[in-house]
Amino acid sequence: MEFSRRHLLGLEGMPKEEILFLLDTAASFKEISDRDIKKVPTLRGKTVVAAFFEPSTRTRVSFEIAAKRMSADFVTLSAPASSAAKGETLLDTARNLSAMQPDALVIRHPSAGAAHLLARHLDCAVINAGDGAHEHPTQALLDLLTIRERKPQFEGLVVAIVGDILHSRVARSNLHALRAVGAEVRLAGPRTLLPRECAAFAFATTDVREAVRGADVVMVLRIQRERQVGNYIPSIEEYARYFCLREEHLAEAKPDVLVMHPGPLNRGVEIASSVADGPYSVILDQVRNGIAVRMAVLYLLLTGAREAMAATREQLQGIPAGKQRRVGR
């Protein structure tokens, strides 16, 4: 298969073949991290810039390690928020970054669509590392890779996603990807955190037990206190009483159920310690696979001359490539 994408903005609408191709490529990169010398020269001379307008450790470090294992140079903007505080718009910040001629820009931003906006205006590849409550494609890809390592067939798998669906980009990306590869998705959470529209995509319930019953995979989402989730639930304690994933819930799931969590964990809030550290937990495998997935994404976006580039741009902007205004220079 030929991978002709210029950017990785989201998984919505990505065909199954492309998702599986990404997973295959990622799987073949895992071996590099097991070597004594954890580095291949593939992306020598390429520069990856990370602009994180929201706090993140795991994702940023994971991207950084992935880029470095591929021999790319990785630059982080420690606080791009500072220039935003000075009144610079996102697009201006990005144009300035772009003028420094990176090959890829990894962006996390509190607003949905931030990565898409930049992809329309910048010359480099744009990788969405989370935009508001919209998408977090590399997280969903690493989740799928982790699932596939234990359960070779996606068709017919039942995946329960439990927690704050409303604010979760992880849930959205996973929902799109899992449906594309043929898995059945169930959503569970308090009614206030369960968007009404999600019923169109998946079975939705307020009963964790019902969602977990017979499930092959349970994905637990983090309660995102930074998104004023307190306004949606009476209290953290009450949330924990009804939605914290405990061993008694898992007894209803398939005997070989996998428990996943995108991290960071709020132990005792959305997941009990005994479950997070228990035999069904693959949380640390997810972290390990995150590196392989990001290596694969960087490899696929940064190598090969792209004939399809103009076409992608045309699609995004809805105007023929030849008629585009020169931007970002």
Partner 1 sequence: MTGRAVDGICTRTLVVPLSWSSEARKEVDENHDKKFRNQTLCPLVARGLFFAGGEPVTERVVLDAQGVDRALTRMAHEILERNKGVQDLVLIGIRSRGVHLAERLRSKIESIEGASVPMGIIDITLYRDDLSRSRQQPQVKGTRVDFPIDDRRVVLVDDVLFTGRTVRAALDALVDLGRPKNVQLCVLVDRGHRELPIRADYVGKNLPTALDEEVQVRLTESDGRDEVVLVRQGG
List the catalytic residues. 58-59, 86, 108, 136
Closest by CA to 115, choosing from 138, 142, 146, is: 138
Size of site (CB under 8 A) for partner 1:
41
Residue 197 near residue 170, CB atoms below 8 Å: no
Residue 192 near residue 218, CB atoms below 8 Å: no
State how far the Cα of 249 lies from the Cα of 254, in Å rounded to an integer. Answer: 11
From 12, 18, 42, 206, residue interacting with partner 1 (rule: CB under 8 A)? 42
- Report in angstroms how near the CB of residue 4 gets to partner 1 at its nearest: 8
Number of H helices, E strands in the chain: 13, 9
From 13, 41, 152, 318, residue interacting with partner 1 (rule: CB under 8 A)? 41
Q: How far is CA 232 from CA 56, 110, 291, in A?
A: 23, 19, 34
Q: Within a 10 A sphere around the Cβ of 127, how many other Cβ atoms?
A: 24
From 36, 155, 197, 226, residue interacting with partner 1 (rule: CB under 8 A)? 36
DSSP state letters, 160-174: EEES--TT-HHHHHH
Closest by CA to 159, choosing from 275, 173, 131, 239, is: 173
Decide: is 25 part of the binding site for partner 1 (CB under 8 A): yes
Report the DSSP pairing between strands 184-188 and 158-162.
parallel
Decide: is 1 part of the binding site for partner 1 (CB under 8 A): yes
State how far the Cα of 221 lies from the Cα of 219, in Å rounded to an integer. Answer: 6
What residues pair up with 314 in beta bridges, in sequence order? Answer: none
Decide: is 152 part of the binding site for partner 1 (CB under 8 A): no
Query: Nearer Cβ to partner 1, position 224 or 303?
Result: 303
Residues 65-104 as x/- pattern, contact with partner 1 by CB under 8 A: -----x------------------------------x-x-
Residue 16 near residue 153, CB atoms below 8 Å: no
Decide: is 206 part of the binding site for partner 1 (CB under 8 A): no
From 15, 16, 28, 79, residue interacting with partner 1 (rule: CB under 8 A)? 28
From 16, 35, 150, 209, residue interacting with partner 1 (rule: CB under 8 A)? 35
- Report in angstroms how near the CB of residue 2 gets to partner 1 at its nearest: 6
Residue 252 near residue 216, CB atoms below 8 Å: no
Stretch of residues binding partner 1 (CB under 8 A), selected from 87-95, 111-119, 183-191, 302-310? 302-310
Query: Nearer Cβ to partner 1, position 214 or 304?
Result: 304
- Report in angstroms how near the CB of residue 12 gets to partner 1 at its nearest: 22
Stretch of residues binding partner 1 (CB under 8 A), selected from 39-47, 153-161, 217-225, 272-280? 39-47
Residue 26 near residue 296, CB atoms below 8 Å: yes
Decide: is 251 part of the binding site for partner 1 (CB under 8 A): no
Residues that bind partner 1 (CB under 8 A): 1-4, 25, 27-29, 31-32, 35-37, 39-42, 70, 101, 103, 123-124, 296, 299-300, 303-307, 309-310, 313, 321-322, 324-329
